[in-house]
């Protein structure tokens, strides 16, 4: 069955790039533009995997992860954060909030798809 | 934009479009901080703008841009965390950095020269100094930020598992031995982050044949079991020439949330006991046994070897599912409801191809024409106005109008996107000319058709340059004149009588009328002894040929005179005028139609021609009485209107449709007001009605004609000209009142 | 769309011939979009004599140029038998008013001769060359020169 990936990022460029890589790998992609939109979309449509950025307006990635984890429906949904290589503090904070794994920006499409595959049931 | 384009390249286009918006947000945010009108969110938005530019740039390998953006972002991060003060010198540097960033983007896009390394490096050094709090900038070292930092090993640490007491030697480093023994004991947090052992096992199975055994010895009584806790351990034997790094990589995400041990297979003293028990033991059975009323026996836990199929595409139903029934009681993660956003929900928008909108607008335009033609035929057929068809048609007209309004609104855009570029321009021009300037803008949200917005940038740019270069005095001169050293330039947009008006004013020295008159006379544009009003002298600068290399300085000219500005405005169906106060300043006023597509007009007849006069210009219409009309010196006529006399212009005569004038009392006079507020009466043969008409440009297939703003197609299929009342009035005044004023055409 | 003159391979062109008074002319058929009968045009003020006005061509405003006047041949008022050739000139759609359209002609490049000096200067400005067909002299017209030089083109 085709798996759905929700990508949460305020940058249209990033959303498009994620979509390109994921669709080519056979995933169905839905998008959201910030944390609040992400939670709403997750609630409305559901997803098998979520990829989220950290810096976003209205609600950032940490808020999104915490919000998702607080909802029993999404406790078991894998969430990957997009993070820059050098940001150990942010990565840890994301993990503390409940992130399943991470993808380093700028991302290599192969590694991206690999990460999604590794966490998608 | 076709689908045949390489999608990656298409995203690059999107990236640069996004950069435009981000750079705009960046500048707006910085200016808001500078002017004190920012809130707590602004610095974060500024940070995100640079961060996003950097992110996208990294994806496309735009190294120069990434490097610069990184230094910029680092400082912004310090500022938003409050670790560095956001004072005036810092803001100044940030604004300049925003300009350099924009230049880097332009260069990366192929739209500008590469940024001079010295300029970029200089700013980089400045930003770094501010980031680290040094007063003196460090020696110019280009920060290499693109090189990836060393991998963070051991950050999450792991501790060896107690019961695997094999040799305590450090495992051979990356030695593809016969295989590995991996013992995995997940912690509760691992599951809380939606990691699943089954998936990890699946990944391991990709590396080579695996044998997995499950240790359930820690599993308590079901009654005591907490669903969120983790009690299970797995031991996995992976055979094959796999190196340790590949094994550890599988556990990348979970290393911190589990006890993990990876040891070479051969070094393990105690081989895995191969048990023989029930091959179809599964967790369900285990649970069933546990729930059966049998007290938990303290027997050695059955260790089973479950041959793990390689490589399984489907995940094995894993023990991890034991804890898959969460109870509301336990909540491992800090429950935090999504914070109520302090900002109002953003309006939902979608992006639409402009071509589609244009097509839609064209089709709607045709709809309006067809509806008008239909209405005409119905009227001509003699059908009663109360008949079902006529009433239905009226409703249709209302609906059509509504559709048209809605469709036009789609293309309407605030002028903000044009105004946004101006602060930077003002900064640069100020620097180049040595003037101190402050730009004040208002009305950025005023909306106008997209096609008009785009063409505003150039004329506004020229006029701002002009205002700063020619209009404003040097700081010293200003102070000597009792003015503040810093000049003010105002850029204002507003709606007025159905048009959009843009005013650019400065508080500089105003127009030097003597000089302008002298230049115009010297160039033969006016007679030497011409007698001109102040307003007319001011408007001489719009004459073609007025500005030449001598009068245009490096800054404001660049080879363009005000006449070109005027023409580009006229091509949009607009007009431009200037008002000046010597010593106090000047104001340029641009007036443009809101849309280039439709117009509310009064349909009139003159000498067998059907014409349309824009309703927005019309004040009143009246039937001239003989006693109200007076002739002044020959052909000039004036007509009494309310308490004044206004010029009466025979339009058919003015436009050459007729050679001889007709008695005014046989026609109808329509009083109009020009952009400048001047009133005149236009004489027509008859008024035929009012209608909203679709504007068709003459310039598309022909050229601009004086006195004609555009054309339209009436209900009978014929073309009718839409009058440019301002131009008609202007030509009338030219011909009759100032015969000696020869203006170059 | 300009006529292709220097295509080495193509040796012939297709032209459409038309008549103004006694004289015959022709233009590259690729530039001509359609042929219509005359409909009264809305006159434009302050326009040169050859500008007859504008008509409605399925929603587009089409300027009508009286070629007879443009070539300095005649100033007769158009009557119902006159014909409008809708042509694409320099990115614009323009209507050319002529007396009648006669033939479609295939012409080889080598058949075109340079314009002789006997032709009046006025017409020469528009004529690229002439050729003979069935004993008739037909002038080949350069469409790009028909539109007046305007400021609008510079803008």
According to the 3-state scheme, what is the secondary structure of B120-163? HHHHHHHHHHHHHCCCCCCCCCCCCCCCCCCCCCCCCCCCCCCC
For residue C94, the chain B residue with the least C-alpha distance is: B701
The residue ranking higher by pLDDT, B366 or B656, is B656
CATH architecture of the domain with range B415-593: 2-Layer Sandwich (3.30)
Indicate the fold that domain B598-744 takes in CATH.
SH3 type barrels. (2.30.30)
> Which C residues, 54 through 93, put their C-beta within 8 Å of a C-beta on chain B?
54-56, 59-63, 92-93
Cα–Cα distance measured from residue B489 to residue B509, given in angstroms and rounded to the nearest whole number:
12
If you compute the radius of gyration of chain C from its CA atoms, what whole number of angstroms results?
15
The rounded percent of chain B whose pLDDT value lies above 70 is 77
Which of A9, A11, A13, A118 to mutate against chain B (most B CBs within 10 Å)? A13
For residue B652, the chain C residue with the least C-alpha distance is: C45
Candidate from B59, B196, B341 with C-beta closest to A106 = B59
pLDDT tens-place string over residues C31-54: 998 998 888 899 999 888 889 999
pLDDT tens-place string over residues B221-277: 777 777 767 778 888 888 888 888 888 888 888 888 888 888 887 754 444 444 434
Q: Residue A13: inside a domain, yes or no? A: yes
User: By the CB < 8 Å criterion, does B488 face chain C?
Assistant: no
CB-CB under 8 Å, B59 with A17 = yes
User: By the CB < 8 Å criterion, does B381 face chain C?
Assistant: no
Which of B376, B701, B708 to mutate against chain C (most C CBs within 10 Å)? B701
User: By the CB < 8 Å criterion, does B703 face chain C?
Assistant: yes
Give helix A12-24 / helix B7-35 axis angle, nearest 10°. 160
Q: Which residue has the tokens 């205002």?
A: B467
Give the distance from residue B537's alpha carbon to the nearest chain C alpha carbon, in angstroms.
Answer: 24
Give the distance from residue B597's alpha carbon to the nearest chain A alpha carbon, in angstroms.
Answer: 32
Give the distance from residue C84's alpha carbon to the nearest chain B alpha carbon, in angstroms.
Answer: 15
Highest mean pLDDT among B322-326, B447-451, B492-496, C114-118: B492-496
Map out the domains of chain B as residue ranges: 2-155, 172-296, 355-413, 415-593, 598-744
Give the class (CATH, top level) of B2-155. Answer: mainly alpha
Q: Residue A44: inside a domain, yes or no? A: yes
Which 3 state secondary structure label does DSSP give B558?
A: coil
DSSP assignment string, B205-243: HHHS-EEEEEE-TT---GGG--TTS---EEEEEEESS--
Give me the interface pTM, i.e. the ipTM: 0.90
Residues of B in contact with C47 (CB under 8 A): 705
Count of domains for chain A? 1
Confidence of residue B450 (pLDDT cuts 50, 70, 90): confident
Output the domain CATH number for residue A19. 3.40.50.2300
CB-CB under 8 Å, A77 with B148 = no
Confidence of residue C16 (pLDDT cuts 50, 70, 90): very high
Candidate from A67, A98, A121 with C-beta closest to B196 = A121
Q: Which domain holds residue A67?
A: 4-116
Could you list the mean pLDDT of each consecutive 10-residue stretch along chain A, which spans 121 residues?
91 91 91 92 91 92 92 90 80 87 87 90 73
DSSP assignment string, C9-34: S--EEEEEEEEETTEEEEEEGGGEEE
Confidence of residue B597 (pLDDT cuts 50, 70, 90): low
User: By the CB < 8 Å criterion, does C151 face chain B?
Assistant: yes
Which of A1, A5, A11, A116 to mutate against chain B (most B CBs within 10 Å)? A11
Give the per-residue pLDDT at B325: 38
Give the distance from residue C147's alpha carbon to the nearest chain B alpha carbon, in angstroms.
Answer: 9
Cα–Cα distance measured from residue C130 to residue B555, given in angstroms and rounded to the nearest whole number:
53
C-alpha distance from residue B313 to each of A117, B202, B206, B237 (Å): 11, 8, 10, 19
CB-CB under 8 Å, C46 with B701 = no
Mention every residue, 6+ apart, whose C-beta is less than 8 A from residue B656.
Answer: C45, C46
Indicate the fold that domain B172-296 takes in CATH.
Alpha-Beta Plaits (3.30.70)
Q: Residue A52: inside a domain, yes or no? A: yes
Residue B558 pLDDT > 60: no
CB-CB under 8 Å, B568 with C61 = no
Q: Residue A21: inside a domain, yes or no? A: yes
Q: How many CB pairs under 8 A join A and B?
A: 125
Residue B137 pLDDT > 70: no
Give the per-residue pLDDT at B15: 92
pLDDT tens-place string over residues B648-676: 999 998 898 988 888 888 899 999 987 66
């Amino acid at each position: 069955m085709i798996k759905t990936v929700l990508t949460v990022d305020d940058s249209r460029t990033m959303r498009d790039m994620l979509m390109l890589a994921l669709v080519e790998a056979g995933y169905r992609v839905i998008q959201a533009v910030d944390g609040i939109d992400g939670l709403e979309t997750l609630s409305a449509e559901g997803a098998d995997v979520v990829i989220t950025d950290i810096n976003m307006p209205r609600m950032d990635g940490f808020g999104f992860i915490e919000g998702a984890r607080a909802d029993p429906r999404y406790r078991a949904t894998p969430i990957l954060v997009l993070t820059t290589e050098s940001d150990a503090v942010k990565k840890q904070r994301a993990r503390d909030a409940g992130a399943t794994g991470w993808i380093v920006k700028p991302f290599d499409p192969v590694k991206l798809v690999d990460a999604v595959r590794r966490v998608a049931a | 934009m076709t689908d045949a384009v390489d999608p990656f390249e298409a995203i690059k286009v999107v990236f640069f479009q996004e950069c435009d918006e981000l750079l705009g947000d960046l500048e707006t945010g910085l200016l808001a901080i500078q002017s004190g009108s920012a809130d707590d969110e602004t610095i974060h938005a500024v940070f995100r703008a640079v961060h996003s530019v950097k992110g996208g740039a990294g994806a496309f390998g735009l190294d120069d841009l990434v490097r610069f953006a990184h230094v910029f972002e680092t400082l912004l991060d310090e500022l938003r965390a409050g670790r560095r003060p956001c004072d005036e010198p810092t803001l100044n540097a940030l604004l300049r950095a925003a300009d350099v960033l924009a230049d880097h983007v332009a260069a990366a896009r192929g739209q500008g020269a590469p940024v001079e390394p010295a300029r970029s490096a200089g700013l980089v050094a400045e930003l770094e100094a501010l980031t680290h709090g040094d007063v003196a900038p460090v020696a110019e070292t280009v920060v290499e930020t693109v090189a990836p930092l060393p991998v963070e090993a051991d950050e999450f640490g792991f501790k060896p598992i107690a019961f695997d007491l094999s040799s305590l030697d450090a495992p051979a480093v990356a030695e593809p031995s016969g295989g590995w023994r991996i013992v995995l004991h997940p912690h509760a947090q691992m599951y809380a982050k939606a990691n699943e052992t089954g998936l990890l096992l699946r990944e391991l199975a990709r590396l080579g044949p695996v044998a997995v055994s499950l240790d359930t010895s820690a599993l308590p009584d079901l009654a005591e079991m907490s669903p969120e806790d983790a009690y299970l351990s797995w031991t996995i034997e992976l055979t094959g020439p796999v190196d340790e790094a590949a094994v550890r990589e599988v556990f990348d995400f979970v290393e911190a949330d589990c006890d993990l041990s990876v040891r070479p297979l051969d070094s393990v003293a105690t081989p895995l006991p191969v048990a023989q028990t029930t091959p179809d033991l599964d967790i369900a059975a285990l649970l069933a046994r546990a729930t059966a009323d049998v007290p938990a026996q303290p027997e050695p836990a059955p260790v089973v070897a479950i041959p793990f199929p390689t490589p399984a595409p489907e995940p094995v139903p894993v023990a991890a599912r034991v804890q898959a029934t969460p109870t509301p009681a336990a909540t491992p993660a800090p429950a935090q409801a999504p914070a109520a956003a302090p900002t109002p929900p953003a309006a939902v928008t979608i992006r639409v191809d402009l071509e589609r909108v244009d097509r839609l607008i064209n089709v709607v335009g045709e709809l309006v024409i067809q509806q008008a033609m239909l209405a005409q035929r119905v009227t001509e057929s003699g059908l009663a106005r109360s008949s079902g068809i006529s009433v239905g048609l009226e409703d249709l007209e209302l609906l059509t109008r509504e559709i048209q309004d809605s469709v036009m609104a789609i293309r309407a855009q605030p002028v903000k996107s044009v105004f946004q570029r101006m602060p930077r321009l003002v900064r640069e021009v100020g620097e180049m000319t040595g003037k101190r300037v402050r730009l004040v803008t208002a009305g950025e949200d005023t909306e106008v058709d997209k096609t008009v917005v785009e063409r505003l940038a150039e004329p506004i740019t020229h006029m701002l340059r002009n205002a700063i270069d020619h209009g404003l005095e040097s700081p010293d001169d200003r102070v000597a004149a009792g003015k503040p050293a810093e000049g003010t330039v105002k850029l204002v947009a507003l709606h007025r009588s159905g048009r959009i008006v843009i005013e650019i004013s400065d508080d500089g020295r105003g127009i030097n009328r003597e000089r302008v008159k002298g230049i115009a006379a010297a160039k033969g544009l006016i007679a030497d002894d011409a007698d001109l009003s102040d307003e007319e002298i001011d408007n001489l600068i719009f004459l073609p040929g007025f500005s030449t290399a001598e009068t245009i300085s490096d800054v404001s000219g660049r080879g363009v005179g005000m006449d070109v500005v005027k023409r580009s405005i006229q091509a949009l169906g607009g007009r431009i005028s200037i008002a000046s106060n010597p010593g106090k300043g000047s104001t340029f006023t641009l007036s443009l139609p809101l849309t280039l597509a439709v117009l509310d007009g009064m349909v009139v007849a003159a000498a067998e021609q059907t014409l349309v006069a824009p309703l927005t210009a019309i004040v009143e219409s009246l039937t001239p009485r003989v006693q109200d009309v007076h002739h002044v010196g020959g052909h000039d006529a004036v007509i009494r209107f309310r308490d004044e006399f206004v010029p009466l212009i025979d339009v058919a005569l003015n436009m050459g449709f007729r050679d001889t004038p007709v008695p005014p009392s046989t026609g109808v006079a329509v009083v109009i007001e020009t952009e400048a507020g001047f009133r005149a009466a236009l004489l027509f043969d008859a008024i035929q009605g009012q209608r909203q008409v679709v504007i068709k440009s003459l310039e598309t297939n022909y050229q601009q004609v004086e006195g004609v703003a555009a054309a339209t197609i009436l209900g009978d299929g014929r073309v009718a000209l839409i009058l440019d009342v301002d131009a008609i009035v202007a030509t009338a005044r030219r011909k009759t009142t100032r015969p000696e004023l020869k203006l170059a055409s | 769309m300009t006529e292709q003159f220097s295509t080495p391979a193509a040796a012939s062109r297709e032209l459409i011939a038309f008549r103004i008074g006694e004289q015959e002319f022709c233009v590259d058929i690729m530039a001509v979009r359609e042929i219509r009968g005359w409909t009264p045009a809305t006159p434009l003020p302050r326009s040169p004599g050859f500008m007859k006005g504008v008509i409605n061509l399925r929603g587009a405003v089409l300027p009508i140029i009286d070629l007879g006047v443009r070539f300095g041949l005649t100033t007769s008022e158009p009557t119902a038998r006159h014909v409008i050739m809708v042509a694409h000139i320099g990115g614009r759609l323009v209507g050319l008013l002529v007396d009648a359209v006669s033939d479609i002609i295939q012409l080889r490049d080598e058949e075109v001769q340079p314009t002789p000096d006997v032709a009046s200067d006025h017409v020469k400005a528009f004529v690229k060359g002439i050729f003979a067909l069935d004993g008739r002299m037909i002038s080949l017209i350069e469409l790009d020169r028909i539109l007046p030089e305007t400021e609008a083109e510079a803008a």
